[in-house]
Amino acid sequence: MEILVCVKRAPDTLENEITVNKDGTNIELEDLVYSVNEWDNYAVEEAIQIKDKVGGSVTVVTIGDEEAEEVLRREMAMGADKGILISDEAFENSDGKGIASILKAEIEKGKYDLILTGAQADDGAGQIGGMLAAMLDLPYASLVNKIDIAGEKLTVGREIEGGVQEINEIELPCVLSIQTGINEPRYVGIRGIRKVASVEIPVHTAADLGLDASAVGTSGAKVKKLDYFIPETGEGAEILTGSQEEIAEKLIELLKAKGGIK
Partner 1 sequence: MSRQLFAYITHKNSAADDSAFELAAAAKKIDANASVTAIVTGKGEDLTKVCGQITSAFAKVWKIDGDAFAYPNAELIRAMLVKILPEKSITLLAHDTFGMDLGPGLSVKLNASFISDVVDIEGVKSDILKTIRQEYSGQVSTHVSCDITDGAVINIRPGSFKPEETSIGGEIEDKSSEAEGITAKRKYIEIIEAEIGDVDITKSEILVSVGRGIEDEENIEIAQELADAMGADVSCSRPIVDAKWLEKSRQVGTSGQTVKPKVYLALGISGSFQHLGGIKGSPFIVAVNKNAKAPIFQVADIGIVDDLLDFVPVLTEKIEELKG
Ligand X SMILES: Cc1cc2nc3c(=O)[nH]c(=O)nc-3n(C[C@H](O)[C@H](O)[C@H](O)COP(=O)(O)OP(=O)(O)OC[C@H]3O[C@@H](n4cnc5c(N)ncnc54)[C@H](O)[C@@H]3O)c2cc1C
Helix, coil or strand: residue 115: strand
Q: Specify the DSSP class assigned to residue 68.
A: G
Q: How far apart are CA 231 and CA 233, in angstroms?
A: 6
Q: Specify the 3-state DSSP secondary structure of 218.
A: helix
On whether the CB atoms of residues 120 and 126 are closer than 8 A, the answer is yes
Residue 102: name its binding partner from ligand AMP, partner 1, ligand X, none (Cβ under 5 to 8 Å by kind): none
Interacting span for partner 1 (CB under 8 A) from 1-9, 53-61, 81-89, 159-167: 159-167
Which CB sits closer to partner 1, 133 or 206? 133
Strands 9-11 and 140-150, by their bridges, are unpaired
Interaction of residue 30 with partner 1, rule CB under 8 A: no
Nearest distance, CB of residue 238 and ligand AMP, angstroms? 35
Residue 141 binds ligand X (CB under 6 A): no
Looking at the Cβ atoms of 89 and 246, the one nearer to partner 1 is 246
Which residue lies nearer to ligand AMP by CB, 71 or 188?
71
Q: Which one, of 62, 67, 172, lies nearest residue 113 by Cα?
A: 172
**Cis, bond preceding 173 (omega within 30 deg of 0):** yes
Work out whether 234 is an interface residue with partner 1 (CB under 8 A). Answer: yes
With CB under 5 to 8 Å by kind, the binding choice for 245 among partner 1, ligand AMP, ligand X, none is: partner 1
Site for ligand X in 5-24 (CB under 6 A): 13-14
Which residue of 29, 190, 197, 237 would you call a contact of partner 1, by CB under 8 A? 237
CB of residue 153 vs partner 1: minimum separation in angstroms? 9
Contact residue for partner 1 among 35, 134, 192, 193 (CB under 8 A):
134
Q: Which of 72, 84, 138 is nearest to 109 (CA)?
A: 84
| Nearest in space to 69 (alpha carbons), one of 177, 202, 211 | 202
Residue ranges with strand state E in 31-181: 34-36, 57-63, 82-86, 114-118, 140-150, 153-159, 165-171, 174-178
Q: Is 120 in the site for ligand X (CB under 6 A)?
A: yes
C-beta nearest to ligand AMP: residue: 118
Distance CA 50, CA 153 (A): 14
Site string for ligand X, 69-108 (x = CB under 6 A): ----------------------------------------
CB closer to ligand X, 38 vs 106 = 38
Nearer to partner 1, 37 or 196 (CB): 37
Those residues whose C-beta lies under 8 Å from the C-beta of residue 171, and which sit 6 or more positions away, are 139, 152, 153
Inter-axis angle of helices 96-107 and 128-136, nearest 10: 50
Among 115, 119, 136, 196, binds ligand X (CB under 6 A): 119
| Closer to ligand X by Cβ: residue 37 or 120 | 120
- Residues in contact with ligand X by the rule CB under 6 A: 13-14, 119-120, 143
